[in-house]
Structure formats: structure tokens, C-alpha cells
Amino acid sequence: MHSLNRGFIFLKQVVGASRSSPGMLKPSAYALAAGLAFALVCLLLIGGCLGLGWGRPLALGIAGFFICVLLSGQVLIETLNSALTAAKTAAFLNHEVVGTAGELPALRSAWSDLLIYTLARPGLWITRWPRRWQGVSKTSPAGQPGNPQDPNQASTESQALIPPAPGQAVSSWMSAAYLVIPIQAVEKIHLRDSLARANQLIQSHALRLNAALIGVRSLSWITGGIMGLIGLVAGLLFFHLTSPLSHNLAARSALFACLSLFIFDFLFFVALTASAYVNSVYATCLYLWSANAEKARLENRAEPVQAPALLAAALEK
């Protein structure tokens, strides 16, 4: 529950930042328009298959294929949205102008990396079962965690770190997965280098936060699940109510089936867009904190690096 409470607090901070800098929302708006346009194209193809072969296994199989293409394409669109949002969030947190110059050309050159990451991302989260990791550093120098084996540092370490709540174990690889998109967007490097850079930040203890300590991803799953369930029920209900109107005509049945699918996909994609936006802002905060901590360690600065403003309020709880 503490994780979800922190997630709600962070969400309020993101809403406030979006109001003060509406430019952060532009990638999400473009992604929503592109995703719905892509959905209409796929639905036309699905409708054509169903209309020409209603009830035939081959037609149903082709329609199922296009449904998979639809969902995969929308997930890829949201990956691009996440990368653009990360660049804009970094500009906002660094007090720079939130613009678009230079972002789209850089992403066009890295679109294949983003595609590969989109396809591989599910595996990043299900492999390497989480193990316990460090929490938040409040008093230890940035990038210089205490050694639990050293008796002179043990007490400092116990005071400096907030241990993860039960059930919030997270692997280094999972924490690194949060950083890949912001690293690609901000540092403009390829996927392989982004993965190596993320692992570098993790292994050097530059990331001072257990990524699961703030329940942003949990909130995303809950919200997305609820929206998806509502869309599924609404779509099935619409198809059930309109079925008698089809009079067993293939064209009408296909039309009502496509409209039902659109109802589900619309709510699903809205939830996906909102989730991508919030998670991208969160991941960018983690990345900037890690990068600043690494820079402080390399410069031998003793003072701790403060968390980005959007994270600070949530970490106080």
C-alpha cells in the first residue's frame, strides 16, 4: 500500500508538471491520433476479411492476425511516445525549453532499436526472477553506498537506506530496464549501448532507488486492467445488443464486430497512452537521478545528490 500511495503522489506531481508545461503532452497526443488512425486501417482490413468470409476458419484466422498486428503496432507507437516523452521530461527537469527540434530525427535513426526493444521488453520483465536490492539513499554520498560487511559503515548504511517493503524485490536487470528508453532518448545512443549504460548505472550504485518503491508500474497495471476490462465488457455488450440487427447478413455482422472491437481498442489504447506517459516520466526521473549521482561520484563530491523534483514529494512519504 505504501508503494501505491507514493505512486499516487507521484501521479499528482506529473499532472501538475503537465499543466505547467503542456508541451510534455504533445507526444502522447500525437501517439493517440496515430494509434487510432492505425486502428481504423486495421479494422477496415479485419472487416473486409470477416465480411467476405463470415464464419469461415480462414477468415477468422486472417482477422486474428490483423488483430495481433493492431495491438503490436500500437505498442510500438507507445514506445516511440515514451522516447519522445523522456526527451521532453529531461528538458523540463533540466529547466530547458521543451521543444521538438532534434528529437524526431534522432528517433528516426533509432527506430529499429526501439522496435527490437518493444519486441524484447516482455522478456526483460519475466526473466531473472527479482532479488532484493537497495532502497533510497538519503544521507550517504551519491554513488558511494556503504559496505554492509564493514562495521564502520554498517550503521551508516542502515540509516542511509530505506529497505524495500515486503514483496517489492526487484532485480538489477528489471531496474536497468526502466532506464533504457530515457538513455536512448537523452543520450541518443543505440540499444546495445543503452543496455550497457543502464547496467553500468546499476552496477555502480548510481541509481539510488529501488524502482518498485514508488508504485507507478503497479498503478499502470491496475488502471490499464480496469480500462481494458471495461472496454471488453462494453464491446461484448455492444455486439450482443446489435447482433439481432444483423439479420444473419455477413456484412452487417462484420460491421458490428469491428465496432465492438473498436470500443475495446479505444479504451485499451487510451489507458496504454496514459500509462506510457507516466511511466516514461518516472523512468526519466530515475535516469537523471542516476546520471547526476554518477557525475557527483566522478567529481568526488561528498554532498548527496537530490532526487528530481517530481520524485521528491513521493519519497517523503
Residue pointed to by grid coordinates 450482443: 240
In the chain, % of residues over pLDDT 70:
73
Distance in angstroms between the alpha carbons of the first and the last residue of the chain: 12
Q: Summarize the confidence of residues 15-25 as an average pLDDT.
A: 88
The pLDDT value recorded for residue 145 is: 39
Q: In whole angstroms, give the CA distance from residue 213 to residue 178.
A: 13
C-alpha cell at 253: 455482422
**Spatial separation of the C-alpha atoms in residues 198 and 282, rounded to whole Å:** 15
Average pLDDT, the chain: 76
Residue 156: which of 169, 167, 146 has the closest Cα? 146
Is residue 11 within 8 A of residue 219, CB to CB? The reply is yes
SS3 content of the chain, % helix, strand, coil (to 5): 75, 0, 25
Average pLDDT over residues 156-176: 41
Evaluate if residue 169 carries a pLDDT over 70: no
pLDDT tops 60 at residue 166: no
Report pTM: 0.77
pLDDT band, residue 294 (cuts 50/70/90): confident
Q: What phi and psi, each to the nearest 5 degrees, are found at residue 161?
A: -110, 135
User: Cα–Cα distance between 24 and 89 in angstroms, integer?
Assistant: 7
Q: What are residue 162's DSSP bridge partners?
A: 136
Q: State the cell numbers at 37.
A: 488512425
Segment 256-267 shows an average pLDDT of: 92
**Domain spans of the chain?**
2-121+173-315
pLDDT reading at 213 higher than 80: no
Which DSSP category does 304 fall into?
Answer: P
- Going by pLDDT thresholds of 50, 70 and 90, the confidence category of residue 60 is confident
The predicted pLDDT at position 208 comes to: 67
